[in-house]
């Protein structure tokens, strides 16, 4: 297991043990678990992500901490937009859609205002950090 995989596994276990709440760097943050399918491998992955609530939708940000490249989960969602998320104790089937232009800018600004680290991520990289809306399409399980 890689360091990132180990780190994510600890967060996933804590999330599930505490009804969607975790401590450390994510303490108090709105967090979900994204279940996505690898674009090339077809493997299933689970990735903890901060989100911005938007009515019944969940907005996530492909920041990768301001790295020069987009995270794998973003590419996976482009290839396979149907995914699942865990929020608290609930699991939903969602459809992912990237938002661009003014809507992207508004959502990113909202997230950066609530969580200033996101403003720093955008300053760290030359790429425009993608914004993805996850809309529930299936029943809560």
Question: What are the two backbone dihedrals, phi and then psi, of residue 122, each rounded to the nearest 5 degrees?
Answer: -65, -35
99-135 pLDDT tens trace: 999 999 999 999 999 999 999 999 999 999 999 999 9
Angle subtended at Cα 103 by Cα 100 and Cα 105, rounded to the nearest 5 degrees: 80
Domain ranges of the chain: 3-136
As a whole-number percent, the residues of the chain with pLDDT over 90 amount to 89
State how far the Cα of 52 lies from the Cα of 77, in Å rounded to an integer: 18
For residue range 31-42, list pLDDT tens digits in order: 999 999 999 999
How long, in residues, is the chain?
Answer: 141
Q: What is the pTM of this model?
A: 0.93
Could you confirm whether domain 3-136 is CATH 3.30.530.20? no
How confident is residue 7, by pLDDT bands cut at 50, 70 and 90? Answer: confident
């Amino acid at each position: 297991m890689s360091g990132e995989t180990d780190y994510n596994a600890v967060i996933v276990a804590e999330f599930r043990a505490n009804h969607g709440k975790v401590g450390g760097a994510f303490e108090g943050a709105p967090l979900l678990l994204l279940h996505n399918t690898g674009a090339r491998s077809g493997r299933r992955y689970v990735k903890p992500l901060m989100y911005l609530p938007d009515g019944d939708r969940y907005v996530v940000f492909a920041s990768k901490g301001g790295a020069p490249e987009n995270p794998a989960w973003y590419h996976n969602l482009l290839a396979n937009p149907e995914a699942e998320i865990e929020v608290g104790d609930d699991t939903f089937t969602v459809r992912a859609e990237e938002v661009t232009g003014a809507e992207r800018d508004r959502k990113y600004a909202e997230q950066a205002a609530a969580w200033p680290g996101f403003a720093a991520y955008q300053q760290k990289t030359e790429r425009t950090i993608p914004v993805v809306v996850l809309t529930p399409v299936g029943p809560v399980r």
